[in-house]
C-alpha cells in the first residue's frame, strides 16, 4: 500500500533500512574477513579446524536456541522427515564449502576463494534455470557467457584449473538452493543447528584420524589458540544471524549488491596484504568475472525498478 502524502512514511521507514544496511554490511564484512581469522588458527590443519568449527558451532547454536527459547520450534522441524533430509543435504554441501575454503586460506590461495564467491551469483542463475525453471533474461545469458570465458582464461592462459573457485561456487550455490527449497519453514538458527548435528559424526571421525596421524593441535598451542579456535562457532553463527536480520529489512536487490562486499574484501586481503601472485592472466580472468557481475547487477536493478512500477498503486 502506498502511503498518503501526509503520512510520515520517511521517518518510520528509515530506521529499519539503516539498521538493515548495518546488519548486511556486518554479515558480509565478517565473511570477507574469514581468511584472516583462519590463518590465526595455524599450525592446526584444515581438517582439524573444520572439525572443531562444526563442534563449536553446534555449541553456539544450542546456546542461541536456549536463550531465545526456540527449542520447541527446533523440535517441530526435527519431526518433519523432508526438512530433516534437506538440512542433512545442506550440511553436506556446506561441509565441502568450509573444508575447501579453509584449505585454500591456509595454503596461500585466498584469491581463489575470492574468485569463487564472485562466480557464485553467476552459478546461482544456472541453478535457478536447472532446478527452479526460472527464465533467463538476455543480460543474464551474457553474464553467464563471460563467466565461462573467465574460467577458460584462468584454466588455459594461467595454466591452472580454478578448482577451488568452482568448488566453492558450486557447493555454496547448491547449499543456497537447498535452503530455498526449505523456505521459511526453517529459521536460520534451527537450520544451522540441524546442519551441524548431521556433521558431528564427520567431525568426530576426522578428529580421530587426525589424532592418530599428525596429532591434534588444539590444546597444545597455547591459551590464545584455544580461545580463537573456540570462537570459530561464534564466527560462523553471528554473520548468519546478521544476514537474516538484514534480509528482513532490506529489498532483495540491495542485499544482492551488498553480497559482493565479502569477495572484494577477500580479494584485497589476498592481493594486497598477503601479496598473492596476480599475473596478467589472472587479472584478465578476474576482470571478465567482474564485468559479468556488472551485467548481473544492472539486470537486477532494472528488474527491481520494473517490479516496483508494476505494483498496484493503492492509495
Q: Does any domain span residue 315? A: no
Query: Angle CA(141)–CA(143)–CA(149) in degrees, nearest 5?
Result: 105
Q: Does any domain span residue 17? A: no
Would you state the pLDDT for residue 11? 43
pTM of the model: 0.88
Q: Does any domain span residue 211? A: yes
Q: Does any domain span residue 260? A: yes
CA distance 234 to 59: 9
Q: Is residue 270 within 8 Å of residue 110, measured between CB atoms?
A: yes
pLDDT tens track for 27-85: 999 999 999 999 999 999 999 999 999 999 999 999 999 998 999 999 999 999 999 99
CA distance 178 to 183: 9
Q: Which domain holds residue 69?
A: 31-304
Average pLDDT for 140-168: 88
Closest to 19 (Cα-Cα) out of 309, 270, 242:
242
- Name the domain count of the chain: 1
Q: Does any domain span residue 7? A: no
Q: Does any domain span residue 62? A: yes
CA distance 99 to 91: 12
| pLDDT band of 308, cuts 50, 70, 90 | low
Sign of CA pseudo-dihedral 65, 70, 73, 79: positive
Query: Angle CA(97)–CA(99)–CA(104) in degrees, nearest 5?
Result: 95
Q: Is residue 44 within 8 Å of residue 218, measured between CB atoms?
A: yes
Q: Does any domain span residue 49? A: yes
Average pLDDT for 85-95: 95
Percentage of residues of the chain with pLDDT beyond 70: 91
Q: Does any domain span residue 50? A: yes
CA distance 250 to 191: 21
DSSP state, residue 270: I
pLDDT tens track for 260-301: 999 999 999 999 999 999 999 899 999 999 999 999 888 888
> Which of 54-58, 196-200, 261-265, 307-311 is predicted least confidently?
307-311
Is the pLDDT at 3 greater than 60? The verdict is no
Amino acid at each position: 500500500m502506498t502511503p498518503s502524502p501526509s503520512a510520515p512514511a520517511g521517518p518510520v521507514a528509515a530506521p529499519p533500512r539503516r539498521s538493515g544496511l548495518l546488519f548486511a554490511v556486518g554479515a558480509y564484512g565478517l565473511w570477507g574477513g574469514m581468511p584472516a581469522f583462519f590463518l590465526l588458527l595455524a599450525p592446526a590443519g584444515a581438517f582439524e579446524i573444520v572439525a572443531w568449527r562444526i563442534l563449536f558451532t553446534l555449541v553456539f547454536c544450542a546456546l542461541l536456541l536456549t536463550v531465545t527459547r526456540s527449542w520447541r520450534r527446533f523440535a517441530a522441524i526435527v519431526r518433519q522427515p523432508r526438512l530433516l533430509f534437506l538440512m542433512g543435504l545442506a550440511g553436506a554441501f556446506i561441509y565441502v564449502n568450509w573444508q575447501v575454503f579453509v584449505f585454500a586460506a591456509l595454503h596461500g590461495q585466498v584469491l581463489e576463494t575470492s574468485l569463487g564467491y564472485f562466480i557464485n551469483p553467476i552459478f546461482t542463475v544456472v541453478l535457478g534455470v536447472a532446478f527452479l525453471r526460472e527464465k533467463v533474461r538476455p543480460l543474464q545469458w551474457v553474464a553467464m557467457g563471460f563467466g565461462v570465458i573467465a574460467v577458460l582464461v584462468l584454466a588455459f592462459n594461467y595454466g591452472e584449473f580454478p578448482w577451488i573457485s568452482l568448488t566453492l561456487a558450486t557447493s555454496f550455490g547448491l547449499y543456497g538452493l537447498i535452503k530455498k527449497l526449505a523456505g521459511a519453514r526453517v529459521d536460520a538458527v534451527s537450520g544451522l543447528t540441524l546442519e551441524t548435528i548431521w556433521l558431528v559424526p564427520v567431525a568426530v571421525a576426522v578428529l580421530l584420524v587426525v589424532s592418530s596421524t599428525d596429532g591434534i593441535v588444539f590444546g597444545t598451542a597455547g591459551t590464545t589458540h584455544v580461545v580463537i579456535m573456540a570462537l570459530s562457532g561464534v564466527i560462523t553463527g553471528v554473520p548468519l544471524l546478521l544476514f537474516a536480520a538484514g534480509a528482513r529489512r532490506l529489498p532483495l536487490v540491495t542485499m544482492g549488491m551488498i553480497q559482493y562486499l565479502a569477495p572484494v574484501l577477500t580479494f584485497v586481503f589476498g592481493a594486497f596484504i598477503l601479496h598473492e601472485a596476480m599475473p596478467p592472466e589472472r587479472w584478465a580472468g578476474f576482470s571478465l568475472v567482474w564485468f559479468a557481475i556488472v551485467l548481473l547487477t544492472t539486470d537486477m536493478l532494472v528488474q527491481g525498478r520494473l517490479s516496483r512500477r508494476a505494483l498496484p498503486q493503492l492509495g
